[in-house]
Amino acid sequence: MAASVIREIIAPVLKLCPRECGIVSITEIEVSPDFAHATVYLSAVHADEKALEYFASRRGDLQKRLAGWSSHHVPMLRFRIDERSKHANRIDELLNEETKRQKPSL
């Protein structure tokens, strides 16, 4: 539940990310069991680091919005780049290379 509320609060800000980042998306949100931290994993089509910098600069505003959602403990937002898609793409490349290498020549 907390992750979905965090996503609702952060989602409108995705559109405000600098243009050079390309399309930016939230791939996952992990909330610690004690609600002390919420890690928001981001993916940007072009400039991951620029997107990460942007969201780090907006953290205070997003924390305030999150605090308005609940009078209970509000998790501290952390932003990270989701590297899983890059790893998956690399595995696909390696598998494709191996498949091409193993095809018999005609």
Q: Name which of 4, 40, 60, 49 is nearest 22 in CA terms.
A: 49
Give the separation between CA 72 and CA 16, rounded to whole angstroms. Answer: 28
Whether domain 2-102 has CATH 3.10.20.30:
no
Give the separation between CA 40 and CA 45, rounded to whole angstroms. Answer: 17
* 3-state DSSP assignment of residue 26: strand
Q: Which of 15-19, 30-34, 75-79, 95-99 has the lowest mean pLDDT?
A: 95-99
Average pLDDT over residues 48-63: 92
pLDDT in tens, 31-42: 999 889 999 999
Q: Identify which has the larger pLDDT, 100 or 53.
A: 53
Q: Name which of 84, 79, 29 is nearest 49 in CA terms.
A: 79
Domain ranges in the chain? 2-102
* Type of residue found at 100: K
